[in-house]
Amino acid sequence: MSAAHPGLDELIDTVALLRAPGGCPWDADQTHESLVQYLVEESWELIDAIESGSREEMIEELGDVLYQVLFHADLAAHTDGERFDIDDVARHMTAKMVSRHPHVFGDREAETAADVVAFWDDLKADEKPHRTSVLDGIPRGMPALALAQKVLGKAEKVGVTDASALASPATEDELGRALLGLVASARSQGLDAERALRTAVRALEDEVRGAEASRTG
């Protein structure tokens, strides 16, 4: 019986060959930590391809991101204390998706995307009971703007809104120009826009945690 995805199997074998004894010395020397910079770079290149690239560029950049996943999995398969492989990763993800979609694999009903979003938080809470704040699990390494958007969404869930919010431009094009103008203004005054936004986000996070504490206190 032929493999369902022979191209994927070939790539998995290629990664294993490059990292095996007699393969590529550079590949053999890498660690999860040393590969982080490449995962970040490849992810941003994929975003560029999605936003403005061609079909061929998307295929290439998706492949680069996939390669990072396979590389980490092969590395783990040969690291004491880890010993998991790409099948373990895939099985874990399948189980997670089945759990997150009871309206498809179970008896829960959801007719719209909004219905799905409404009960995802409950599902996540059941999966990760150690998380006590809506802010838990947010990656701290996110760029400031993406981090701000994420935290604002979480803040709304506990009734915290940003009182300093201005009227939003009507379109993304107008919003983009407004944001660019703010960054240009900050730069002309010697201010660090990234750091300033992160500082504001941390203050908002303090408000969120304060609101959560008052609810449980």
Q: What is the mean pLDDT of residues 175-195?
A: 92
Q: What is the mean pLDDT of residues 75-93?
A: 95
- The pLDDT of residue 166 is 63
Residues near 25 by Cβ (< 8 Å), separated by ≥ 6?
none
- The pLDDT of residue 217 is 61
- The 10 Å Cβ neighbour count of residue 1 is 3
Report the C-alpha gap between 212 and 217 in whole angstroms.
Answer: 9
pTM: 0.72
Q: Which pLDDT tens digit goes with each residue over 88-104?
A: 999 999 998 998 888 88
CB 85 within 8 A of CB 79: no
- The 10 Å Cβ neighbour count of residue 46 is 20
Report the C-alpha gap between 22 and 28 in whole angstroms.
Answer: 9
Q: Which pLDDT tens digit goes with each residue over 193-206?
A: 999 999 999 998 89
With a cut of 80, say whether residue 120 has pLDDT above it: no
Percentage helix, strand, coil for the chain under 3-state DSSP, each rounded to 5 = 70, 0, 30
Report the C-alpha gap between 182 and 171 in whole angstroms.
Answer: 17
- Give how far Cα 39 sits from Cα of 33, 116, 177, 214, Å: 10, 30, 29, 39
